[in-house]
Amino acid sequence: MFNFFNRKFKIREPEPPLDVKMAFMHFSQDGLHMKPSEFRRFMVEHQGETGCTLSRAEEIVNNIISSRHHITRFTRNGLNLDDFFHFLLFDDDINGPIKLEVHNDMTAPLSNYFIYTGHNSYLTGNQLSSDCSEVPIAKALQRGVRVIELDIWPNSTREDINVLHGRTLTTPVSLINCLKSIRDNAFVSSPYPVIITLEDHLTPDLQAKAAEMITQIFGKMLYFPESNKLAEFPSPESLKQRIIISTKPPKEYLEKDHVSASTKLRDASFDDASTNNLDDFEISDPKSGSGLRVAPEYKHLITIHAGKPKGTLKDGLKVAADKVRRLSLSEQELEKAALSHGTDVVRFTQKNILRIYPKGTRVNSSNYKPLIGWMHGAQMIAFNMQGYGKSLWLMHGMFRANGGCGYVKKPDFLTKEDPSGQLFDPKRPLPVKTTLKVRVYMGDGWRLDFSHTHFDSYSPPDFYTKLYLVGVPNDDSKKKTKVILDNWCPVWNEEFTFPLTVPELALLRIEVREHDISDADDFGGQTCLPVPELRRGIRSVPLHNKKGEKLKSVRLLMGFEFL
**403 HSE (CA, 13 A, CB side):** 11
* 22 phi, psi to nearest 5 deg: -65, -40
- CB 481 within 8 Å of CB 515: no
Closest CA to 40 of 30, 31, 26, 50: 50
CA distance 316 to 308: 7
Closest CA to 82 of 68, 92, 94, 95: 68
DSSP three-state, residue 5: helix
Closest CA to 16 of 89, 97, 69, 78: 89
Task: Catalytic residue, from 119, 201, 305, 341: name it.
Answer: 119
**437 HSE (CA, 13 A, CB side):** 10
* Strand duo 522-530 + 507-514: pairing: antiparallel
Q: What is the 3-state secondary structure (H, E, C) of 266-330?
A: HHCCCCHHHCCCCCCCCECCCCCCCCEECCHHHHHCEEEEEECCCCCHHHHCCCCCCCCCEEEEE
Is the torsion defined by CA of 286, 287, 292, 295 positive or negative?
Answer: negative
CA distance 441 to 126: 40
103 is catalytic: no
Residue ranges with strand state E in 33-141: 113-115
Q: Which value, in Å, is the radius of gyration of the alpha carbons in the chain?
A: 27
Task: Catalytic residue, from 33, 86, 165, 341: name it.
Answer: 165
**Region of residue 488 (phi > 0: left; psi between -120 and 50: alpha; otherwise: beta):** alpha
Question: How large is the angle between the packed helices 135-143 and 175-185, nearest 10 degrees?
Answer: 20
Q: Which residues are catalytic?
A: 119, 165
